[in-house]
Structure 1
Amino acid sequence: MERAFTGRSARALRNRFTDAYEPVAPLGPPAVHHLTSSLRKVATAANDTDLIYMWAGAGYRQARDGPATQTLTRLAARMETP
């Protein structure tokens, strides 16, 4: 569970920030969210995924690595099949 960025438990992908700060993150929403706001804005602008939170849904373990076009093609094929 991720709370390093927000102060509350949530499912997120692990990165350098969550690995470093999850163990010591306080349960303090929304204060932690606001404290990390500037960090997340700068990291997002720099495309630094180690310093932003990336939410993960319940089926995140089923995700596959690959180009977005492959993913969209695979999902479209599932929608066409009854």
Structure 2
Amino acid sequence: MTDPAFDTTVITRAFTGRPARALRNHFVERYDRVAPVGYPALHHLTGRLRRAATAAGDTRLIHLWAGTGHRHARTEPAARTFARLAGRL
């Protein structure tokens, strides 16, 4: 099940300096417009913040990589997912 607080994905450079699709959260809202194109330097600069936020369970400050279809994700064993995607179910 997905968190209803995260209903939008965006392309952002806020966490790493390289474009990637993520769920829109506080960090993306605040820093996307001013994030430099600086991979991998920005990735390393934000690393400690991301690790601390992850340890604290703070989803406002971590990268939440997700595709546009993230709401269609299922909770199931990986083997079942692969079988389903391969058309064997």
TM-score (norm 1): 0.75
Structure having the larger proportion of residues in strand: 2
1:36 maps to which of 46, 55, 60: 46
Name the CA distance, whole Å, in 1 between partners of 2:45 and 2:28. 15
1:45 aligns with 2:72: no
SS at 2:20's partner residue? coil
Match of 2:20 in 1: 10
What is the Cα-based RMSD across aligned positions, in Å? 2.5
Name the CA distance, whole Å, in 2 between partners of 1:24 and 1:18. 10
1:21 maps to which of 18, 31, 37: 31
The structural deviation recorded for 1:58 is: 4.3
Name the CA distance, whole Å, in 2 between partners of 1:2 and 1:23. 9
Identity %: 55
Name the CA distance, whole Å, in 2 between partners of 1:58 and 1:22. 18
How many residues are matched? 74
TM-score (norm 2): 0.69
Name the CA distance, whole Å, in 2 between partners of 1:17 and 1:40. 10
Structure having the larger proportion of residues in helix: 1
Structure 1: unaligned runs, 5 residues or longer:
65-69
Structure 1 segments (4+ residues) deviating >4 Å: none
Structure 2: unaligned runs, 5 residues or longer:
1-10
Name the CA distance, whole Å, in 2 between partners of 1:21 and 1:81. 44
SS at 1:11's partner residue? strand
